[in-house]
Chains A and B, each alone.
Chain A
Amino acid sequence: MKQPRLRLLIPVAFLLTLVAPGLRVLPGGEYLPDLWLLLFLWSMPDPTGLPLRKPIMLIVILGALRASVTALTPFSAWAGLSVALLLRVHLQRLLVDARFVARFLVGWVASLPLLFFDVQAAWRLGISPDLGVWLVRSLWVGFLWALALRPARVPIYVEGPPIARRVRGAELGK
């Protein structure tokens, strides 16, 4: 998958931030997943071997944008997104992406750090968050992640015969 550029991601993140409180007002809106986390997971490839400037910049920007429409500290988002990326990368290496359940598991587990840091921050503010609602939000992340990472994008032919590997390499632009 081609990595989206920051100049595209930042306006999208701005737009998401503008509409996020409105979406929470909708019926059932409280169950919707964290939009900034979804955007981040979707836009970040495996950063191993790549310069970390882009993921770090995106984490900082998304955290700051999120903090302008929530009372939660931006550190909650920064920590949650960073650990989410680490977990996602490690789990993707362990699990076979071709299966829906595996992809769902990867997305769901990756959403848990943000949930954890958010719940901690909410408690510190004197709010008892409804954990059921927050769990549904994280399950949504898993579900949407499983849908977003369609099998066609999974490099299943990489381990195949040389001709298939070359075809896959060409697809990836290598």
Chain B
Amino acid sequence: MRRGLLQAALLAFVCLQALWPLRVIENLTNQLVAPIAAWLTPSAGFIAEAVALVTDSHPEWEPLEDPDGLIDWERRLGNPPPVARLAWLEVPVLEVQRRAGRLRIAAGRDFGLALGQAVVYGQQWLGRIQEVEDHTSWVELWNAANARTGVSLEGETASIAGVASGMGPSGWPWIRWMDPKAEPQDGMNVLWRRREQDPRNLDDLELRLGSLRQEGDRERDAAAWVITHEMPPGAEGRVYIAAGAVGSSLVAEPTIRRGPASVSLFRDATLGAKVASVRATRGGPAAVVLQEGRVIGPVVVRRGNHLWFLRRSPGDWREEALALDPEAERLLQLEKGEAFELEGAQLYTRGAGMIPRGLPIGSIRDPQRPLEQGELEIVARQGVGGGSS
């Protein structure tokens, strides 16, 4: 009886772990399987390569024009104009929490950041530093739920002071308070209004939030003024922080680790050609696999030095990639579909968790690259957890 219960419990545990895996147990199991995989994976790969009767087609890839394109454009679009007695600290974004309206950025006490510091992208107001840790900080976006921001509603003749309140993902931020005698109008430009403790010079920038619009039924006295806006896609990559005093470096770029790799198995024995395995020649973090300088897929499983990754064509990256439109000087999000209409749009990783931002993926219409030995790399952003949500 006791033995039967034990066996039933063991079976239940295995089934539950298969369906809802606990990461600790999964990692431990992968470590236990790693010694077997270290011998079997390359041997099986060698046999598979030897008996391969079906070979991949070898479509041509266009040469990559500018491997650092995304980062260059983000800097060009996002770097605010110089302001007297202020310096702009450039900080990459590590994590975007859209629901919570927060960004995790790659600088903290190590770069002297403090609570309440202004965070901008170009001439767009983003929010303030909300929490400072040793090497990272959290930025509360101005449109986060219940975040309050002083605003100035600018019309052709009038300027109205007000306070905006964020609604998070449930709607546009609305004007919580404004001068009762004021007469706002649709389409007014909404600018950021500084607090007493903010540097006076920031006023010169005329940081923008969005446009004013009235929503609801005015006749029933159920109308509200809201601020329509769009978060610049580049602000997911790097932000700029106004600082009165800075250290020797104005860029808080996190460490990106690269290491050589070689193919150990071209096809997964169960999942087929969608998944392949590479062998990293040294340990350390691994987030994506690059072939000839372009990302060919994200790493999904690690068993010792053998890394399993998904083989993707550039168009498969969807919301995990950004397209650069060099002519219109803008970044396009793939999920909105505009990038697919753009001929020859170059894609770059959007960056999330350990995947660095701005790694080149290729042209949006490129087919899946055939996997070949040579010039393979594994890359990861070091000391980073989490991801976009």
Can you list, as one digit per residue, whether each of B1-44 has a CB less than 8 Å from chain A (1) or not (0)? 00000010001001101110100001001001100110011011
Q: Interface size class for chain A?
A: 35 or more
**Of the residues B19, B32, B44, B298, contact of A22 by C-beta under 8 Å:** B44
Enumerate chain B residues within 8 angstroms of A131, measured Cβ to Cβ.
none
Contacts of A65-84 to chain B: CB distance below 8 A: 65-76, 78-80, 82-83
In the assembled complex, B223 has its CB within 8 A of some CB on chain A: no
In the assembled complex, A126 has its CB within 8 A of some CB on chain B: yes
In the assembled complex, A92 has its CB within 8 A of some CB on chain B: no
Q: Bound state CA distance, A79 and B15, in angstroms?
A: 5
In the assembled complex, B274 has its CB within 8 A of some CB on chain A: yes
Given known A21-B267, A75-B14, contact A67–B48 (CB-CB < 8 A)? no
A-B contact count (CB 8 A): 139
Enumerate chain A residues within 8 angstroms of B268, measured Cβ to Cβ.
21, 24, 69-72
Q: Is the CB of B48 within 8 A of A21?
A: yes
Q: Is the CB of B11 within 8 A of A67?
A: no
**Of the residues B21, B44, B300, contact of A71 by C-beta under 8 Å:** B300
A14: shortest Cβ distance to chain B, in Å? 8
Contacts of B268-283 to chain A: CB distance below 8 A: 268-272, 274-275, 277
Q: Is the CB of A75 within 8 A of B21?
A: yes
Q: Bound state CA distance, A117 and B53, in angstroms?
A: 30
Interface residues of B (CB under 8 A from A): 7, 11, 14-15, 17-19, 21, 26, 29, 32-33, 36-37, 40-41, 43-45, 47-48, 50-54, 265-272, 274-275, 277, 298, 300-301, 303, 308, 310
Of the A-B pairs whose beta carbons lie under 8 Å apart in the complex, a sample of 27, sorted by A's number, is A14-B40, A17-B44, A17-B269, A18-B47, A21-B48, A21-B266, A22-B51, A24-B267, A25-B48, A25-B51, A64-B36, A67-B303, A68-B40, A68-B303, A69-B40, A69-B268, A75-B26, A78-B18, A79-B17, A80-B18, A82-B14, A83-B15, A118-B270, A125-B271, A125-B300, A127-B274, A129-B271
